[in-house]
Every structure is written in structure tokens, then in C-alpha cells.
Amino acid sequence: MIPLATTEASLVASYHRGAELITALGGCTSIILGESVSRTPVFALNNLHDIGILSTWILEHSETFKTLVTKSSNYCQLQNMRLTIEANHLYLICEYFTGDAAGQNMVTIATQSIFEWILTNSPVVIEHAFVEANMSGDKKASYLSFSHQRGKKVTVEITLADEMIKKYLHSDAKTMQKYWQVSALGSVMSGAIGMQGHYANGLSALYLATGQDIACIAEASVGITRFELKEDNALYVSVTLPNIILGTIGGGTSLPSQRAALEILELPKENSARALAEVAAALSLAGEISIIASLCANDFTSAHQKRARQK
């Protein structure tokens, strides 16, 4: 059972249909490829010479920063730091592990401690600085999605037998693969970041139901859907989501209705946020399968008319 909070009846019906097919086939396979949450402070200096000195100095004190982070939180861990230089501006990309929490506030507090320590101890004069320089990808679609991750990077796959597609979706593998090809070109020509049908529909409904930060859908709904026709006329379908920001503790997850929704999912106690991310990916897979089948069967419009327009 997956709880969804939405006013769109056709959305629930569509995701249910895709999930029903996945269940009939014994489920899908998912894996967490990586996880981190980032913050990116910026420091403006006088010249490139000072930038070089500060960059080297920051890298030399990485262990100090890790200690500062552990003091700011019992769960947050500084995993990695990367530097990006633009003339006399130094961007510090801090990447953290946040456990079962989504970690947005957690990493902000951790970065603040690093930020203030640098300002206090810097070997060169810092003209001005800000704790977040809008380079983390927070709450926005960005090309960083495919070179790194923000939150949990998840991929999920399933192979659909053609006869099962016909039985549950009233379409067929070849037609669905042809639709995916033209829709991929459509994504390229429209300048979309990633290639997918409607991740935001299912993810936003799941996020609202389980107490997540709904604004994170802007980045969470970036990803890649792929259809591949196999030799036996089966259809391989995969979904890769590089920015699933969510958690099972903290924030809105402690509210009564949202906590009840999380309990419906029966997540494992250990690494429950990772499990929730895999559920989110599987839900997205169900939605992609169903909407493409609906477009191929030419009942996409009639379904919306029936469930959303007629009294």
C-alpha cells in the first residue's frame, strides 16, 4: 500500500494500474546508487592569489570541518568537499550524509559552523561571503543531477512480458517502445533536463502524504525513463532518479496523519529513508508504465474526461 495525497482521481487510478502490473510480475528491482545532501557557501576575495591560498588552506583543514559537523548534529556527517573557482570567487561544495532525515536544515546548520570557522580563521582577507550561493541545486532542476546526486540516487527496473502488457494495459511492447523514442526526442527538443513522463505527479502526492518538503519536487522530479525492446518482444523499463530528497524522521514526518501514512508503508526500521526512496522510485516506474500505455492505447484523454471532468 502506497499513500498518495492528491485531488486528481485519474492520477491515483493510473499509478494503481502500473503498480498492479508490477505486483503481478513479482515486483521490480531497485538499488540506491549514492546519497548526499549539499550546501555551497561562497567566499569573495581580492584576487586570484588569495583564492589560491584560501583553497589550499581549506583543503588542509578538512578533518577540522568534519569535527565541527559532528558537534553540530548527532547524525550529520561531512562526506566530501569540492571547490569551484570563478575568478576571485570561491564556491565550497559541502556534501553530507544525513541518515534517515531529509537533512535540509541539518546540513544548513552544519555548513554554518564551517562557514563561521573559515571567516574567523582565514589566512587571507575575505571581502564578503554567504552560507549558500545557489550552487547546491536545492529546490530546482539542474544539470548537477547527472554528475552527482542530491538526496538519494535511485534506479529501478522491470521487464514486462508482452502478454502482460496486453492484459493489464491494453497496449503492446512494440508500440510503447516506439512512443518512448518519439517522447525522448520531444524532451530533447523542448530543452528538458532529463527524460521522463510525469515523475512530479506521483512524487508530489507521496511527499505530501508522508510529510516531506514538497518544494523538493523541483529537483526530485529530474530523471531518466528508458524503454528497451528485448528479443523475446518483452519490454525492459527503467527509471533513474538522482535527487530523491526525503526522510522518515524530522520535519513534517512527525505529524499525526503523515506518521500514519509512513506506517502504512511498513518500512524497515534500519535505513528506512533508503527504503522510502526505493518506494518512490518504484512508484515513479508504475506511473511511467501506465501513462505511456494510456497514450499508446489512445485512452489518455477519455480517462481524464471520465474521472476529472464529468460529474
Domain stop point among 72, 96, 130? 130
Query: pLDDT, tens digit, for every residue of 105-127?
Result: 999 999 999 999 999 999 999 99
Residue 1 lies in a domain: no
- Angle, alpha carbons 174-178-184 (nearest 5°): 145
pLDDT value at position 73? Answer: 87
304 an active-site residue? yes
Give yes or no for residue 75 having a pLDDT over 90. no
Q: Could you tell me the CATH number of the domain that includes residue 221?
A: 3.90.770.10
Nearest CA among 292, 83, 113, 304 for reference residue 195: 292
178 and 298 fall within a common domain:
yes
Same domain, 25 and 51: no
Cα dihedral sign, 9-23-279-156: negative
Cell of 42: 561562497
76 and 152 housed in the same domain? no
- Shared domain for 172 and 269, answered yes or no, is yes
Q: What cell numbers appear for 283 in the block?
A: 512508484
Q: Which pLDDT band, with edges at 50, 70 and 90, does 301 fall under?
A: low
Asked whether residue 311 carries a pLDDT value surpassing 60, the answer given is no
Within the chain, strands assigned E span: 29-39, 42-45, 77-86, 89-97, 126-130, 151-160, 224-229, 235-244
Residue 109: how many CB atoms within 10 A of its CB? 13
Domain total in the chain:
2
Residues 6+ apart with CB under 8 A from 49: none
Residues 197 and 241 in one domain: yes
Q: Which of 157, 213, 228, 299 is catalytic?
A: 213
pLDDT value of residue 74: 85
In a domain, 3, yes or no: no
45 and 27 share a domain?
A: no
Angle subtended by helix axes 162-169 and 9-24, to nearest 10:
150
Q: Which of 8, 20, 228, 299 is catalytic?
A: 8
Q: How many CB atoms lie within 10 A of CB 78?
A: 23
Whole-angstrom distance, CA of residue 34 vs CA of residue 227: 23
Which of these is catalytic: 16, 61, 89, 304? 304
Residue type, 301: T
148 belongs to the catalytic site: no
Note if 128 is an active site residue.
no
Range(s) of the domain holding residue 54: 41-130
Mean pLDDT of 232-247: 96
User: 298 or 193: which carries more pLDDT confidence?
Assistant: 193
- Does residue 78 sit in the same domain as residue 207? no
Q: Indicate whether 58 and 30 sit together in one domain.
A: no
- What average pLDDT does the chain have? 94
Q: Which of 65, 96, 130 is the last residue of a domain?
A: 130
C-alpha to C-alpha distance for 119 and 132, rounded to whole angstroms: 14
How many angstroms separate the CA atoms of 218 and 198, rounded? 12
Query: Is 135 among the domain residues?
Result: no
